[in-house]
Amino acid sequence: MKRAFLFPGQGAQMVGMGKDIYEKYDVAKKVYDEASKISGIDVKKICFEGPRRRIKPN
C-alpha cells in the first residue's frame, strides 16, 4: 500500500505539525533527521516545540 502526506501549503504551519507522523513511522524520523543533518538546524525541535515565529514568521 502506498501513502501520501499532503499539507495545505504556505501559511498553514503550526507548532506540533508532523509530530504524530514522526512518532508513528520510521521513514518520517529519517526524513526529519536527514533534514536536520543537511541544514544544520534542529528541524524536529522547531516543528514540534517552536517557537511559532520560527515556523510561521507572520
Which structural domain, as residue segments, surrounds residue 39?
19-55
Would residue 31 count as lying in a domain?
A: yes
Radius of gyration, alpha carbons of the chain: 12
Would residue 3 count as lying in a domain?
A: no
Would residue 12 count as lying in a domain?
A: no
Would residue 1 count as lying in a domain?
A: no
- Domains of the chain: total: 1
The model carries a pTM of 0.66
Would residue 38 count as lying in a domain?
A: yes
Task: Render pLDDT for 17-54 as a digit per residue (tens, 0 to 9).
Answer: 889 999 999 999 999 999 999 999 999 999 898 888 77
Task: Give the CA distances from residue 11 to residues 2, 24, 47, 58, in Å, rounded to whole numbers and listed in that order.
Answer: 27, 25, 14, 8
For the cut 90, the answer to whether the pLDDT of residue 8 exceeds it is: no
